[in-house]
Amino acid sequence: MTAQQPHASASDVVKIGVPVAIGAAVAIAIGVYGRLHDPTGFSVNIAGFGSPLGPKTWLTTVAFVLALVQVGSALVMYGKVRVAAPPWIGTLHRWSGRLAVLAAVPVAVHCLYALGLQTTTPRVLMHSLLGTFFFGAFVTKMLLLTRRGLPGWLLPVVGGLVFAALVGLWLTSALWVFTTIGIPA
């Protein structure tokens, strides 16, 4: 005798499939734009920094640190860390996520405008692909947050994918700069 597996209804498929499809379309659109766009090779510099590399490196690091806050606050909210969840933990989670994306957007705009999607080295290719994936996964997560009745595992998995992509972006950009070029001013 086998246990009966619950079947996903058509509405469940739509509830999950549409946000995933939109997120995938965003990732593909960013990738296609980045590949077809004629890179300018330059972008606007921010006062106080010696080159665009400085603000990109630091903004990516800020996004990475805020992503760590996201994971920590999610673990507390989902009861995976045995501490009493303070009443402001949800607010911390939402705002750290918003600020992480706010820090990442100018970096992505600069990268797409000045550099495009590049494939010159394995690190650069991985960075480009992670960037497109990050924003597609982020859009998917934001759209899934508006849905009710989702499986309990879904948002943590999608959030984990967003986090993993951002960590990969930081490793292939800011950490690479810190360890090969030095700390940019």
Confidence of residue 94 (pLDDT cuts 50, 70, 90): very high
For residue range 138-153, what is the model confidence (pLDDT) as tens digits? Answer: 999 999 998 999 998 9
> Does residue 115 lie within any of the structural domains?
yes
Query: Cα(62)–Cα(57) distance, rounded to whole angstroms?
Result: 9
Domain that holds residue 131: 17-180
Q: Provide the number of structural domains found in the chain.
A: 1
> Does residue 4 lie within any of the structural domains?
no
CA distances from 169 to 82, 90, 136 (A): 30, 25, 14
> Does residue 5 lie within any of the structural domains?
no
Percent over 90 (pLDDT), the chain: 68
> Does residue 50 lie within any of the structural domains?
yes
Say what the pLDDT of residue 44 is. 63
> Does residue 9 lie within any of the structural domains?
no
> Does residue 73 lie within any of the structural domains?
yes
CA distances from 126 to 14, 117, 120, 179 (A): 31, 10, 10, 18
